[in-house]
Amino acid sequence: MKKKKLRFIIGGIILFLVLGYLIYSGMRGTMLYYMTVSELMDKGDSAYGEGVRLGGRVVENSINWDSLKLELKFDITDGKKKIPVVYKGVVPDAFKSGADVIVEGSYSPQGGFHATTLLAKCPSKYRPLEDEKT
């Protein structure tokens, strides 16, 4: 009976510690889920080469699809500064000019931002399809 109780308490403490660690590490990473374009550029030289997550809006008419190299090129902006992005891979449905996107990759002084992942935010307004046509 006593042994059972002890095991129970130890199990509980371990559980709490694991949960505490999970919340701590999870929160630290997610509080700053992505950087804005200005934040990245303000870092100066230290921005280069490191893996970062960058969020911004796709600049209108900046999307360029290179069908030979299978590369997608576009600019993203936070309203103040903009960065050219090169991406190779699957494009999500919500990606379009003017959409909010999040790219993961690294920034280099020559070619702009090389994205390995492209995520699109979905709209928070839900409009019916019929409205689009009219």
In the complex, which residues of this chain contact another protein (CB under 8 A)?
Answer: 5, 8, 11-12, 15, 19, 22-23, 26-27, 29-34, 55, 90-95, 102, 117-132
Least separation in angstroms between residue 1's CB and another protein is 10
For residue 82, the minimal CB distance to another protein (Å) is: 19
Q: How far is the CB of 64 from another protein (least distance, A)?
A: 19
Nearer to another protein, 55 or 109 (CB): 55
Q: Of 87, 110, 111, 109, nearest to 43 (Cα)? A: 109
Minimum distance of another protein from residue 49's CB (angstroms):
22
111, exposed or middle or buried, with CB in 10 Å at 0-12, 13-18, 19+? exposed
Rounded CA-CA distance 53/2 in Å is 51
The tokens describing 10, both together, are 């130890």
Cβ proximity to another protein: between 110 and 134 the closer is 134
Nearest to 56 by CA among 84, 31, 30: 84
- Residue found under tokens 């379009």: 96
The nearer residue to another protein, 73 or 121, going by C-beta atoms, is 121
